[in-house]
Amino acid sequence: MKSIAFFNNKGGVGKTTLLCNVASHLALERDKKILVIDVDPQCNATQLMLDEEDVLAIYDDNKSFTIHSIIHPLSIGKGYSDTIIPRFVADYGVDLIPGDPRLALKEDLLSKDWQDAIAGDIRGLRTSVLFSELLGRCSKYDYVLFDMGPSLGSINRSVLLACDFFLSPMSIDIFSLKAIENISTSIQEWKRRLAHGVAQVDQTLKDDIPGGSSFKIMFAGYVAQQYIQKTTNGEKRAVAAYEAIMKRIPRSIKSNFIERLQPDQPDINYEIGTIPNLYSLIPMSQSAHKPIFALKAKDGVRGAHFNKVRDAEKIYKKISYQLIKNVDELS
């Protein structure tokens, strides 16, 4: 099992749409066993995958199993949750642990316990690695994918602490380039502080830290999205304003993620793929609660949209292939 966080602390980069379509392509077209965990308190992946009736049923019933069910027992001193009850989403072919708006209320808990953790407190460390403990019970899956909110807060830190890899969806603007620097600086600082905290723990207690005590996450690649294309001499390419920024991304990725976070890893293709603006296919997918590449006439696809759906299938096929190739090469 490999765990992959889809993460960028800049919002509006198309992260959830990318994750859900990649997850579905891996499940439906490559026969992989996939678990999606929605750790964004806005619950975008949950709302995209499930229809309105299912979403209402989840949040009307306080006993529904959501991501809140994973962390709540810890917050009241009962230790780790003793069960996982994902729900199968047939149209996407994946299992899902739904998000929960109440997760936002646990940000303070995780923040406080992180301060205890980096001071060497074993209880603080156990709280901080709660997603490592969760992943330890997900061995039946090939890949576990986390949909995350756009922040460098304590929830996302706990997820990144647990995961094997992260992928960065990026919009083509200067703010995404700045986000790369922020992520790199934060991960380096978190690694340093965690190592300091673990070093102070009594050796006999270190076995009580699920997933070990190292910040092992590696950068798997990036996907540039939402740019506008034009056709020149029969070839589709980004318009000049977007293309200029796109050319800066590899240099920023290399200096911040590769050289600073994993300088000893093999030289691979970190550009996992690019996705142009898909325009009306996005709201169609949201309304139908289906992957973009699975949209049909009954979902509102008409005329030239069929070609765009086929193009989208090729795009997600390429991205899924390159992502898994990178993960295998870095493992």
pLDDT of res. 52: 95
Q: How far apart are CA 278 and CA 295, in angstroms?
A: 13
Residue 28, both tokens: 């439906």
CATH number of domain containing 128: 3.40.50.300
Write down how long the chain is. 331
Give the number of domains in the chain: 1
In a structure prediction context, what are the per-residue pLDDT tens digits for the chain, which is 331 residues long? Answer: 999 999 998 888 889 999 999 999 999 999 999 999 999 999 999 999 999 999 999 999 988 999 999 999 888 888 888 889 999 999 999 999 999 999 999 999 999 999 999 999 998 998 998 999 999 999 999 999 999 999 999 999 999 999 999 999 988 777 888 889 999 999 999 999 998 998 888 877 777 787 656 688 999 999 987 554 555 555 554 455 567 777 888 899 999 999 999 999 988 999 999 988 888 999 999 999 999 999 999 999 999 889 999 999 999 999 999 999 999 999 9
**Do the beta carbons of residue 126 and residue 17 sit within 8 Å?**
no
Q: How far apart are CA 136 and CA 139, in angstroms?
A: 7
User: In sequence order, which residues have a C-beta less than 8 Å from that of residue 192 and are 6 or more positions away?
Assistant: none
pLDDT of res. 212: 57
pLDDT of res. 240: 56
**Do the beta carbons of residue 238 and residue 227 sit within 8 Å?**
yes
pLDDT of res. 4: 98
Handedness of CA 110, 113, 117, 118 (dihedral sign): positive
- pTM for the whole thing? 0.92
The closest alpha carbon to 38, from 12, 77, 2, 69, belongs to: 69
Name the one residue in this structure whose structure tokens are 């006993």.
63
Name the residue range of residue 123's domain: 2-330
**What's the CA angle centered on 20, arms 330 and 302, to 5 degrees?**
130
pLDDT of res. 86: 97
SS (H, E, C) the chain: CEEEEECCCCCCCCHHHHHHHHHHHHHHCCCCCEEEEECCCCCHHHHHHCCHHHHHHHHHCCCCCCHHHHHHHHHCCCCCCCCCCCEEECCCCEEEECCCHHHHHHHHHHHHHHHHHCCCCHHHHHHHCHHHHHHCCCCCCCEEEEECCCCCCHHHHHHHHHCCEEEEEEECCHHHHHHHHHHHHHHHHHHHHHHHHHHCCCHHHHHHCCCCCCCCCEEEEEEEEEECEEEECCEEEECHHHHHHHCCHHHHHHHHHHHHHCCCCCCCCCEEEEEECCCCHHHHHHHHCCCHHHCCHHHCCCCCHHHHHHHHHHHHHHHHHHHHHHHHHHC
